[in-house]
Structure 1
Amino acid sequence: MAMNVGGDSGDEPSVMATINTTPLVDVMLVLLIIFLITIPVITQHVKVKLPHANNTPTVTKPHEITISVTRNGSTYWGTELVSSGRLLQKIMQVAVEVPQPAVKIRGDRNADYRYIGHVLYELQRGGMVKVDFISEPTANDIGVH
């Protein structure tokens, strides 16, 4: 890059501050030519006819388990009536699944809390991590006043 610095005489301009961009353009053109030459060398590969396939994404959503506790303390795994021992066996079977399914407890509003507490205890013993409680929304929750 060059800069023209004039003298102090009145005939010549004092300072001419322009940048000579010709060397910069030359360097950029040389780099462009180098890249254009090397790209075909990099992309050379063996010709292979690849098979066609339809890719469908698989979404693995863990299933939900609903445990219902009735007013008299009967426990249901989904719609199946289960005893306390059978409940623990079923919990231990699904607790090892990856990802672990979520457990939703539906407890009757008039059920004694010891029945629901027993289900929670069995879930803890079986190794379940995620437990939710299902309830009905109140009138305020659904916008009825």
Structure 2
Amino acid sequence: MRRRTVFAAPAQPTLMKDLNTTPLIDVMLVLLVMFIMVIPIQLHKVPVDLPGKGATDVPRPVHRLDITAANALLWDGQPVSEAALPARLAAMTRDPAGPVLHVAADGAARYEVFDRTLATVKQAGITRLGMVGNERYLKSLGTQ
């Protein structure tokens, strides 16, 4: 007698329950390389001139530039036009004593005038600049 072998077909294909981690590892490696390349760009240094150990405490001359509520400019208390301001700033940069410019703007002054004035100061190459008179606005913010 001949024997018959019956091959049984699988009932249903079984699902693979393991997670394929190869694409995940590939994505993680690409992200790691991107972060390694991008982070040094963001951590750039900003050069700041700080006084050294031998710095003397010689007071520098101070010039004050006021912007009034009427949008007028005052240079050390004297009226000056926006057209004459670059000449005053150029004379200040040539001064060997290295004067400091203090800018005080009234709260009612137009921001456009303040912006143009700061642009003129920047174009003149002023490096020693201070904003004064802002203490009066601390009370309106509720901080002391």
TM-score by length of 1: 0.52
1:131 positional shift: 1.5
Partner of 2:98: 100
Higher helix proportion (structure 1 or 2):
2
Q: Does 1:70 align with 2:68?
A: yes
Question: What is the aligned residue count?
Answer: 84
Partner of 1:79: 77
Partner of 1:120: 118
1:98 positional shift: 3.0
1:116 positional shift: 0.9
| Unmatched 5+ stretches in structure 2 | 1-55
Partner of 1:136: 135
CA distance in 2, matches of 1:87, 1:77: 8
1:103 positional shift: 1.0
CA distance in 2, matches of 1:112, 1:133: 16
1:60 positional shift: 3.6
CA distance in 1, matches of 2:135, 2:58: 28
TM-score by length of 2: 0.53
Q: Does 1:90 align with 2:88?
A: yes
Letter paired with 1:73: N
Q: Secondary structure at the match of 1:105?
A: strand
1:110 positional shift: 1.3
